Structure 1
Amino acid sequence: MLRSIRSSILACAVLGMLTPLCALANTAAPPVTAPETAALKGAVPTAYARLRVWGFEVYDARLWTLPGFGASKFEQQPFALELKYLRQLEGAAIASRSIDEMRRVGTFTEAQEKSWLQAMRQLFPNVDRNDRITGLNWPGKGVEFWLNGQRLGWVQDPVFARLFFGIWLDERTSEPKMRLQLLQGLAP
C-alpha cells in the first residue's frame, strides 16, 4: 500500500514537472520575421499554398498580413507575398509568365507591358529550389522585391502593384483554389 502511494506521488510529481513543458511545446511559436517583412511590424503569415502546374510543383506561396487585412481591397494595404520555389526557373520566364497572368486580371497598354516586363527581367534572378522571392505591396507606391532576404529593387507603379498581386489575390486569378487557401481566415 505504501509503495502504491509513493508511486502515485512520484507519478504526480513527474507529470507536474512535465505539464508546463508540454504547454510550452504546444504554444505556437511567433512567426520568424525575415528582413523583407520586418517593415511590416506585426504582420502574420498565412499557411502556405502550393502551386502545381501539369503535375509539377512550382512554388509554395504565403501572405504576410497585418491585423484587419481585407482581401477585397488588398491593393490599399501593406502586405507581403512570399514565393518559395520548389524547382529551378529562369527569371525571364517568371517575368513573362507574370505579364500573362497580369493580363488575366486587368488591362494595360503596350507601353506599360514593355516597361513592366523590362523591370521584372532586370529584378527577377534565376531561382533554385528553396529560393524565396518576396514582394511587398506599398499602397500608392508600388512593389518592393526581395530575394532570400536581400533587397532586389522596386517597381514604383501602383497600377503594376495591383495587377501583379492580382495574379494571386484578384477574383479573376487563374488559380482560384490557391487564392482561397491564401485568404483562408482573412477578412473578405
Structure 2
Amino acid sequence: MASRTSALSLFALAFLMTITQPALSDWRPSLSEARVVGSGEFTWFGLRLYTARLWSAGAAWSWNEPFALELIYHRALTRETLVQASIDEMQRLADRPMARETVKRWSKAMQEAFVDVRPGMRITGLYLPGQGCRFYVDGQLSLEVTDPAFARAFFAIWVDPRARDPQLRQRLLGLAGSDRGD
C-alpha cells in the first residue's frame, strides 16, 4: 500500500509540474522581455482566418532585433495550404524570381515546421537576425531553420511594405489601432 501511495504521489507531483512549468521549448525564454507591438485579424473573402500578434523586446519592431509573430487560427487549414500560401507570398515579394531549388528547400522546411491547423491552434515564428528562425506549434518547438534568407522572406509576408494586407501590417507594427484588445 505504501508503494502504491508513493507512486500516486509521484504521479500527482509530475502532473502538477507539467501544469505549472512552461514548456522548455516555448519561444518566450528566447524573447524574455517581449511585449505585443501590435495585433490584427486576417480575413480572406470575409472569413476570419487568424489573429496575428507581433512580439518584440525592443521599443519597436526591427529586422535587427529578434521578434516573434504569433498566429492564432480561427479556421481549419491544411499544412499544404499554409505552405503553398507562404511560398506564393514569398515569391510575390521577392526582388527576382526564386530558384526552383530554393522553393523546394523552403517548402520542405515549412512542411516539417507546420501542421494541419484547427480553430484555437497557434503557430509562432521566432525571427533571429542573421541566424534564421524557429517555429513553435502550440508552444512546442517544431523546427529550427538556420537560413537567414528564408527567415527574412517568410516574415516579410507580414511586415514588408508590400504585404498583401497593408492594414494588418500597420496594426502589427503598432502604427494603427489593433483589431482586438491585447
> Is the shorter-chain TM-score for this pair beyond 0.5, marking a shared fold?
yes
Aligned with 1:56 (options 22, 34, 47): 47
**Aligned counterpart for 1:113 among listed residues 103, 107, 116:** 103
Unpaired segments of 5 or more residues in structure 1? 1-32
Normalised by the length of structure 1, the TM-score is 0.75
Give the AA of the match of 2:133: V
Query: How far apart, CA to CA, are the structure 1 residues paired with 2:164 and 2:117?
Result: 22
Structure number having the greater helix percentage: 1
1:46 deviates by: 3.1
Q: Take 2:127 and 2:43, find their aligned partners in 1: how far apart are those partners? A: 24
Deviation, structure 1 residue 116: 0.3
The list of structure 1 runs, each at least 4 consecutive aligned residues, that deviate by more than 6 angstroms after superposition, is none
Q: Which moved more, 1:46-55 or 1:80-89?
A: 46-55
Count of residues in correspondence between the two structures: 151
2:60–2:173 CA contact under 8 A, matched in 1: no
SS in 2 for 1:129: coil
Could you tell me which residue of structure 1 aligns to residue 11 of structure 2? Answer: none
Residue in structure 2 matching 1:182, options 155, 167, 172 = 172
- Structure 2, unmatched stretches of 5+, are 1-21, 177-182
Say which of 163, 173, 178 aligns to 1:173. 163
CA contact (8 A) 1:104 1:172 kept: no
Asked if 1:75 corresponds to 2:75, the answer is no
Query: What is the one-letter code of the residue matched to 2:33?
Result: G
RMSD: 1.7
- Does residue 29 of structure 2 align to residue 38 of structure 1? yes
